[in-house]
Structure 1
């Protein structure tokens, strides 16, 4: 099994080795964790275009050693002023692809600016330089990007501006061919020169708004100009001596805390890792957290969310009493997208950043906005058109968001930074890798590499399933099926399980980094 990366002072992990390398480069140039995190984020937007981009959203958890406090930044966008259910009259739901799915303002660039301007050391242009280089000079097409491009070629072909970039000559580029994005390079150069407002008020904003106006889109120049993210206080809970931090709603982060606090009521020292009982407990705890998530999660500015109750230990204890080792609970969830990129950075001063970003579905809306090179997200397609639904579409509203970067502290200092790609799978994979580290003493690499599962519907499927990697073993799969799960055996290291990363500070003070063998990730520490 692959060993974790080790560092005495620093660590960078991400699901693409070029983005991780860029973060390490920024640290070597004298930048701090915040500079490096923004550089990694910008690079992921270039080298991981099927999973993320500057036309999407991001969420950030930060720890600055001078503050001694975990802070959050919500860089998710709101629905446009013209985004009302009436604009989708006659439809059962908001379109999942195309211009009609581009309902919310991209928050990514605002997130870069917020984190860098508050905590960064290097110049803005220096931090964005690696991403510009990858966009302009190109990088090798990975097998993962090729496979996703081929799978969604029909989506990419629907918009000429998108097809010109991702399907040159009418078909995907082959693995290891040089993939360039000159339009993206020009956009990033403008942002590097003119700052955050170039994206929201400058030529880039004008290009996005003009394109959408010509093609019947809902976002306008005013929507972009008025966008602002916000610093927020993270929500928190605890698990076996760790203080757990997650982003508050509109993030589903509270599900990650709820599941672990339920599991804290079970004695894992008496439960073998990889046993039927281990999988059954983890699966059922997350399912129970989904029940409350689907009932309450939306923009807290538009609805009351009972977080105090949901995050209480007494509530966790009552829910844990509902878990049956011999029977799967029958539940349903709303389909969620799967494209995302999680990364984390720790620097020699002890600063730490745990962050995640997304376009929602693979390649988002599938629409590149004119000559900007920017793929627009389709996150707003998750809004409901049902006027009674808690997550119903309303102008200026943020939608239910699957993104949930995590950080755990011991004695007030970051101990574990963790997260993963994969919509519905995020709280499930977080639960797996955290229990493996906290209860079974695994390093981050082993915790990520061990077999995984994903329960619930993904956006392209109409039925509930429990997908479990074949490495779990037929005996465990049979027991899960006997308990009532709709089990489907997945391939070993199946990409549907997500692309996780984690950093852990071990008992000797060393940093350990792990990246997912299901991804193109890289971990760099020294």
Structure 2
């Protein structure tokens, strides 16, 4: 239980509906949708569209979307893959002939076809009651009438000033007065408001065909892109079943590849071989085991996981007990494993939204423009900030994640849903680029192994073993840092905090909902 003498947040409790987001206005918008009779899917889309305006460094209609939805909190879980594809002209040979051995982060080649809008429409078709004409109104209002910049968003704006200063159309759209926005500034984006109005009126075709698509293609081709109108018009969202594993009597579900949720499931399978409760939640042993499980899982992901429409991904093998045993048997508490350093192509940002409505429809929803402020390319006339998700590709012939025409890159964004006995108990997610599988594992084990409530689990200090360094938040005690060094870990303090998370726990016995939201972001959980 929280010590009320100390700074912190209480969990939020409600009976009818609950939402947790990274911005208070998005949470309020989602609650208003629920109170007006909308579903969890309706609320998630409305909140996400608003976040695409007021949290522009993380998300927007120029990005991608994944979601897991369980109607009425029981029965079949549906996975939505709204990730975009490479242009049909994007062959590895094209890049290699031009001596490009990686996708430049702020080039037209970094932009895959944005999948979010089509994903929203698909999700609403299956699980919504309200249309985009209603749900986009808060985002339109914020873009046209202005919104107030929140502190964490201002922090990111300042940190990426140089990127925005050197982008395409970014000075015009995202650097008011030639400087980064600061907390309290009021920002207007009328061009983006017009674009959202067109989508509200005409649906997904307004984005993927016609004047808006023409402007995006013209912008990209004008700086060397390979995109065509046919690439945009052909985009579709994939609807599948989730993949999952069992941990501490709970089933944990993720979207299948090209989503990277399998990474988190492999981590859980390895950690299930150890009794974490033998060690305190804040201990060298716990942080060491988490890092070792992550190193194995990330190595597997980078070697074998890619778009299953192009590469056979042996999901059953990687989620098998044999795979967990093979690698778990090698982990030692007195030293690090001798593993190669994994260097993923990019380290993105995102927003995550958790919603449960009065009918207990559970929605785990994530939307991203990849790295902070995406590609730093804004479409000429539309105000759309375009993602740089294609930087997740390799330019390495023979690698499973090598770029290819119409291929989806290995992603980073992962919504998760936890069930018990077939019933939803927690839609949750942890943002933060490559941190997400570790973050989800950290939060879930905080709850299931250490008895934390959702807010305590989110609050607890974090670490990420990434590219050979154990990046640790300021809240990790010096004794743990020193203990990790003695085991061979090279440690460093991380400058921005590691990600942000949201979660809603469903208490079926009491008929109540319990929400938590990460203090590392500006947001909150709200219920009614």
Structure 2 length-normalised TM: 0.95
Which residue does the alignment assign to 1:352? 362
What does 1:494-505 align with in structure 2 at a 5 Å threshold? 495-505=496-506
**Contact 1:16–1:44 (CA under 8 A) maintained in structure 2:** yes
Partner of 2:25: helix, strand, or coil? Answer: helix
Which residue does the alignment assign to 2:245? 237
Q: Flag the 1:151–1:268 CA change in 2: closer, same or farther, 3 A.
A: closer
**In structure 1, C-alpha distance between the alignment counterparts of 2:74 and 2:154, rounded to whole Å:** 43
**Contact 2:73–2:360 (CA under 8 A) maintained in structure 1:** no
Which residue does the alignment assign to 1:328? 336
Instruction: Give, in angstroms, the shift of residue 406 of structure 1.
Output: 0.4
**Contact 1:341–1:421 (CA under 8 A) maintained in structure 2:** yes
- For residue 368 of structure 1, the aligned residue among 367, 370, 378 is 378
2:262 is the alignment partner of 1:262: no
- For residue 90 of structure 1, the aligned residue among 69, 83, 99 is 99
Give the length in aligned residue pairs. 516
Q: Flag the 1:509–1:276 CA change in 2: closer, same or farther, 3 A.
A: farther
**Contact 1:21–1:522 (CA under 8 A) maintained in structure 2:** no
Instruction: Give, in angstroms, the shift of residue 347 of structure 1.
Output: 0.4
Which residue does the alignment assign to 2:16? 9
**Contact 1:161–1:371 (CA under 8 A) maintained in structure 2:** no
Bigger shift: 213-222 or 27-36? 213-222
**Contact 2:473–2:497 (CA under 8 A) maintained in structure 1:** no
**In structure 2, C-alpha distance between the alignment counterparts of 1:159 and 1:283, rounded to whole Å:** 36
Partner of 1:117: helix, strand, or coil? Answer: helix
- For residue 475 of structure 1, the aligned residue among 472, 479, 482 is 479
Q: Which runs of 5+ in 1 are unaligned?
A: 458-463
Which residue does the alignment assign to 1:444? 454
**Contact 2:168–2:376 (CA under 8 A) maintained in structure 1:** no
Which residue does the alignment assign to 2:108? 99
**In structure 1, C-alpha distance between the alignment counterparts of 2:168 and 2:329, rounded to whole Å:** 54
Structure 1 length-normalised TM: 0.95
- For residue 65 of structure 1, the aligned residue among 62, 72, 83 is 72
Which residue does the alignment assign to 2:4? none
Render the CA deviation track for 1:470-493: whole Å, top value 9, x for unaligned.
Answer: 322111111101101111134xxx
Give the aligned CA root-mean-square deviation in angstroms. Answer: 1.5
Which residue does the alignment assign to 1:520? 522
2:86 is the alignment partner of 1:79: yes
Q: Which runs of 5+ in 2 are unaligned?
A: 1-7
Instruction: Give, in angstroms, the shift of residue 67 of structure 1.
Output: 7.0
Which residue does the alignment assign to 1:461? none
**In structure 2, C-alpha distance between the alignment counterparts of 1:410 and 1:202, rounded to whole Å:** 46
Which residue does the alignment assign to 1:395? 405
Partner of 1:360: helix, strand, or coil? Answer: coil
Instruction: Give, in angstroms, the shift of residue 229 of structure 1.
Output: 1.0
Bigger shift: 92-101 or 446-455? 92-101
Which residue does the alignment assign to 1:312? 320
Moved beyond 4 Å, runs of 4+: none
**Contact 2:305–2:410 (CA under 8 A) maintained in structure 1:** yes
**In structure 1, C-alpha distance between the alignment counterparts of 2:332 and 2:56, rounded to whole Å:** 41
- For residue 199 of structure 1, the aligned residue among 193, 197, 207 is 207
Render the CA deviation track for 1:201-244: whole Å, top value 9, x for unaligned.
Answer: 12211211122222221211110001111101111111011111
Q: Flag the 1:123–1:386 CA change in 2: closer, same or farther, 3 A.
A: closer
Partner of 1:425: helix, strand, or coil? Answer: helix
